[in-house]
Structure 1
Amino acid sequence: MSSPDHLTALSRVVLNNLQYQHDWTQVKPHEQPNLPRPLLYGLPPKRLYVHPDEQIDIIKAEKERGEPIPQEPEVEWVLPVHLSEKWSPAQFAALFDVIEAVPPGGASQEGLDVDGSDAQWRLWRGPKRGKRILLATVQDDSTVTYYWIHDGLVKPRQN
């Protein structure tokens, strides 16, 4: 098991990397009593993830409107881990069980449709989005590599 000092140091490395290398804002530690370990959350400079089904809905809506749909960034969860740590699917499942889909400070997108229609692509944002965590893997030289971890199965994106 990791010591609290080790977890704090990992979080600090990832927080600094997000802020100073990747231009994230509002990056904060998140702790709650039933959380297996501290998480971070923050706002990236651009939207990092679009669900494959949302991507299809956006393309259809853009074709109907004749203009691009803005892709505003969303507040994201970040889990700092060290490369030497071994995580099981059960550990990730326990983490997903105790978090909300949208981190604190994440704007609810419900009821914010610009043109008053019930746009299908909006259903993928806000509290209705699937739970996901950006896994921040820290190496011994402080290099940080990021991977998406989803709660459940997600089909691959189309490029």
Structure 2
Amino acid sequence: MSLASKVKTNLQYQNLWTNVTIHQVSDLEIVSGIPPNKLSSVDEENQVEWIIPKMFSQDKLSVSEIQNWFSKILELSGDIPRRITIAIINDDSTIVYYFIHNGITKPNQN
């Protein structure tokens, strides 16, 4: 099972996302979907989220790799998202999600 398939299954059945789709762009698999609730207070309802699956044991991330992700999503959607989510998959199939913002983001007040 590919990393993107593991993330898709996790989002659909554990996190209850809808419209979860795997996109193949060159050698990169990108997952998109709609969460059941807003992920941040500044999000719009039913906002499409973009997720990049990455194995925990893979090499470190580089800025150029992250910029490439935003460019590939621009090719798919016609718009650069203000953030993407990276899905870090561990050897035991645990998945942890982190936001990666496109540029500097003002912190939210809790």
* TM-score for both structures, normalised by structure 2: 0.85
Write 1 or 2 for the structure with the bigger share of helix: 1
Please tell me whether residue 45 in structure 1 is matched to residue 46 in structure 2.
no
* Runs (5+) with no aligned partner, structure 2: none
Report what 2:5 is aligned to.
12
- How far does residue 130 in structure 1 lie from its aligned partner after superposition? 4.5
Q: Which consecutive aligned stretches of 4+ in structure 1 deviate over 6 angstroms post-superposition?
A: none
Larger Rg: 1
1:110-157 CA deviation, whole Å, 9 max, x = no partner? xxxxxxxxxxxxxxxxx6x85311111001110100000111111211
Report what 2:70 is aligned to.
96
User: d(CA) in 2 for partners of 1:130 and 1:95?
Assistant: 10
Write 1 or 2 for the structure with the bigger share of strand: 2
Please tell me whether residue 151 in structure 1 is matched to residue 102 in structure 2.
yes
1:31-42 equivalent positions in 2, closer than 5 A: 31-33=24-26, 36-42=27-33
Report what 1:137 is aligned to.
88
Match of 1:149, as an amino acid? I
SS at match of 1:11: helix
- How far does residue 47 in structure 1 lie from its aligned partner after superposition? 1.0
Q: How many residues align?
A: 109
SS at match of 2:28: coil
What root-mean-square deviation, in Å, do the aligned CA atoms of Structure 1 and Structure 2 show?
2.4
Could you tell me whether the CA contact under 8 Å between 2:86 and 2:97 is conserved in 1? Answer: yes
* TM-score for both structures, normalised by structure 1: 0.60
1:109-128 equivalent positions in 2, closer than 5 A: none
- How far does residue 32 in structure 1 lie from its aligned partner after superposition? 2.9
Greater relative CO, 1 or 2 (CA 8 Å, sep 6+): 1
- How far does residue 87 in structure 1 lie from its aligned partner after superposition? 1.2
Report what 2:23 is aligned to.
30
Sequence identity percentage: 38
* Runs (5+) with no aligned partner, structure 1: 1-7, 55-70, 105-126
Could you tell me whether the CA contact under 8 Å between 1:79 and 1:136 is conserved in 2? Answer: yes
Report what 2:52 is aligned to.
79
SS at match of 1:136: strand
